[in-house]
Structure 1
Amino acid sequence: MKTLLALLTLCWSCAAASATPSAPSAPSIPYTLDNTEVRDVHATALKRDYQVFVALPDSYRTSTRRYPVVFVVDANYAFPVARNIASRLHRHAGMEEAIVVGLSYAQGDSGSYSRGRDYTPSVPRASATRYHSDMPGRAPAFGEAAAYARFIASDVFPLIAAGYRADMGRKIFVGHSYGGLLGLQVLLTNPRTFEHYILGSPSLWFDRGVMFDREQAYAAAHKEMPASVFFGIGARETLAPGKTRSRSKEQADMVADLREFQASLAAHRYRGLSTTVKVFADEDHASVFPLVFTHGLRAYLKSTK
């Protein structure tokens, strides 16, 4: 009987202990990147709101000098990558410091919807059923790259010039995939918008290769293209065996497209244009961006090592 009573007492004690509320855990603290800021920007002409992410160099608070500025699109992914690579290249490889500015997607839009509209140069021909919107009740939108480029120049540039010690004579554009198309739109419209372009895996297949046509049109009207351009792409961004190459996403050989585009630039012998194309072994469309960005910075920024 005593043994049974002891067991019942022990079970009651365990049950009471398990029913006792545990002490509340400490509130979680959001992770932030050092020396970064977020600024809200209203795109007046576009009637949309965006955010601009700004990463300042380590020495910014203790110096008085001005810094080159890196503008990177697809900022929700690319900004922390670019900011950290730029910082490491300075700290461990003696690379010149730079302000990194990330351009976010439009407020209220999904990333896919925002970039499809803002980064593409045209509305795709004969593709009404190929593209689908991930925004319920909204049809896919394309072809506003020219307007978005004007937003960068008219709204973002003045914000950065007024708010930071930025050397606006040394501006670098960084874009990958659709972002690379946006960079080409700027290059073939007003190349002086940026001094250096880092273009990774540009989607040259888009709209049946419309950028090839636009480069030919630019060449017919211009003899110069004052800019330096670093093109980078993964060696695996080629056409799958058994497929015939075409100007379509499904049958595009992106490496061949890029080499063809570079060859056309070279054939036109634009005054003031310098280009580099680098194909990164064993990399594909998803993995190549950090390498493109690293080598693209090295092609332009100064280094002490």
Structure 2
Amino acid sequence: MLFRSTICAALRALVLSTLALPAFAAFAAFATFTAPAASAASAASITQQDGAPYTLTGTTVLTVHAKELERDYQVFVSLPPGYAANGPSLPVVVVTDADYAFPLTRAIAARIGGHSKAIGPFILVGLSYAVGDTPEYSRRRDYTPSTDTSETYTSDMPGRTPRFGEAEGYRRFIAGNVLPLIAERYRADMTRTVFVGHSYGSLLGTHILLSSPALFGKYVLSSPSLWYDHHIMFAREKAYAAGHRELQADVFFSVGGLEVARGDDDTHMVRDLRNFDTALKAHRYAGLRTQLHVYEGKDHLDVFPDMITNALKWAVPGRK
């Protein structure tokens, strides 16, 4: 898979700086590094390969058609070192907002799993955006469960009005296209699947949890946008409880301690997540296990790296 930027020691600062906090908008694409000017001596050794895009070894970009949605999506896949077609079946970790989360999750897993063994090997699947759409446009449409008519949104794609509320169609795309493709192409243990989402991506995960909880065995839901559309997911959870006594899933909730209301903003993500977790526990669903982590000193922009480090240790633990 090709990336225009170099993944280096500046990765953390780079990826965090690309987020847009006010609307919990898209994780933007990576910026391009400009290499220092070559000296006269080194200039003579430059080959045609210099300046080529950086490639993450062991990765693949698949273009998957969503027939129902009438568009194509890019899906990124990373195989761990030692993966073999005739080897053991491995768990599958699916991350949303793949342009940001895929290389970061991959790097953390390689660093920690390769040294401390605290994270075991797994197949990483990144859900990127619809081909031809900007990240913001794609994720607003595909990650939200409804259209919030109380808010006014502008589109970052000239000539196209903003679209929302297609999370259910996107859930069916994951269930009917993405996961079967992974099961067919790779030595994947589809009984050990993990969903990872942040912000709107976590809102999508909450929708999946309450729509078809068995689609994934574990859910990592980081800073879910529970404020969206007048806290609609609280109503959805209440409706689910009215018809179900069971919810088979393990859930890792997380939020930054600084994700609280300021000024006129009534978006208090710490309070919302605590209340949502309390509501789930109050209904005593058979099979549901939740844990909630508040990362003090972290906000919506910088909580993901610490969160995913701990979440992977929980979701796909390695050898002690």
Using structure 2 for the length normalisation, give the TM-score: 0.83
Identity across aligned pairs (percent)? Answer: 52
**8 Å contact 2:80–2:123 — kept in the other structure?**
yes
Which residue of structure 2 aligns with residue 10 of structure 1? none
Report how far residue 93 of structure 1 moved. 2.1
**8 Å contact 1:198–1:292 — kept in the other structure?**
no
Rounded to whole Å, the distance in 2 between the matches of 1:71 and 1:302 is 16
> In structure 2, which of residues 272, 280, 285 is the aligned counterpart of residue 270 of structure 1?
285
Q: What are the Cα deviations for residues 77-121 of structure 1, in whole angstroms up to 9, with x where unaligned?
A: 110011111222211221211000001100000000000000000
Which residue of structure 2 aligns with residue 197 of structure 1? 219
> In structure 2, which of residues 124, 149, 173 is the aligned counterpart of residue 125 of structure 1?
149
Report how far residue 204 of structure 1 moved. 0.5
Rounded to whole Å, the distance in 2 between the matches of 1:25 and 1:56 is 32
Report how far residue 266 of structure 1 moved. 0.6
1:298 to 2:320 alignment? no
**8 Å contact 1:231–1:292 — kept in the other structure?**
no
Query: SS in structure 2 opposite 1:60?
Result: coil
Decide which moves more: 82-91 or 132-141: 82-91
Which residue of structure 2 aligns with residue 144 of structure 1? 166
Query: SS in structure 2 opposite 1:233?
Result: strand
Which residue of structure 2 aligns with residue 164 of structure 1? 186
**8 Å contact 2:86–2:187 — kept in the other structure?**
no
Rounded to whole Å, the distance in 2 between the matches of 1:267 and 1:125 is 30
Report how far residue 171 of structure 1 moved. 0.6
Structure 2 letter corresponding to 1:61: A
Which residue of structure 1 aligns with residue 228 of structure 2? 206
Report how far residue 53 of structure 1 moved. 0.5
Structure 2 letter corresponding to 1:49: D
The equivalences for 1:94-109 within 5 A come to 94=117, 95-109=119-133
1:91 to 2:91 alignment? no
Rounded to whole Å, the distance in 2 between the matches of 1:302 and 1:31 is 30
| Structure 2, gaps ≥5 residues long | 1-42
Decide which moves more: 225-234 or 29-38: 29-38
Report how far residue 23 of structure 1 moved. 6.6
The equivalences for 1:181-196 within 5 A come to 181-196=203-218
Structure 1 letter corresponding to 2:306: L
Structure number with greater Rg is: 1
1:253 to 2:273 alignment? no
Higher helix share: 1
Using structure 1 for the length normalisation, give the TM-score: 0.87
| Structure 1, gaps ≥5 residues long | 1-21, 244-249
Rounded to whole Å, the distance in 2 between the matches of 1:252 and 1:30 is 40
Which residue of structure 2 aligns with residue 232 of structure 1? 254
Rounded to whole Å, the distance in 1 between the matches of 2:235 and 2:123 is 34
Structure 1 letter corresponding to 2:298: E
**8 Å contact 1:79–1:102 — kept in the other structure?**
yes
Rounded to whole Å, the distance in 2 between the matches of 1:93 and 1:234 is 26
The equivalences for 1:55-94 within 5 A come to 55-61=78-84, 64-94=87-117
The equivalences for 1:213-224 within 5 A come to 213-224=235-246
> In structure 2, which of residues 47, 64, 69 is the aligned counterpart of residue 26 of structure 1?
47
Which residue of structure 1 aligns with residue 134 of structure 2? 110
Aligned length: 275
Q: What are the Cα deviations for residues 195-225 of structure 1, in whole angstroms up to 9, with x where unaligned?
A: 0000110000000100000000000110010
**8 Å contact 1:200–1:231 — kept in the other structure?**
yes
Structure 2 letter corresponding to 1:91: G
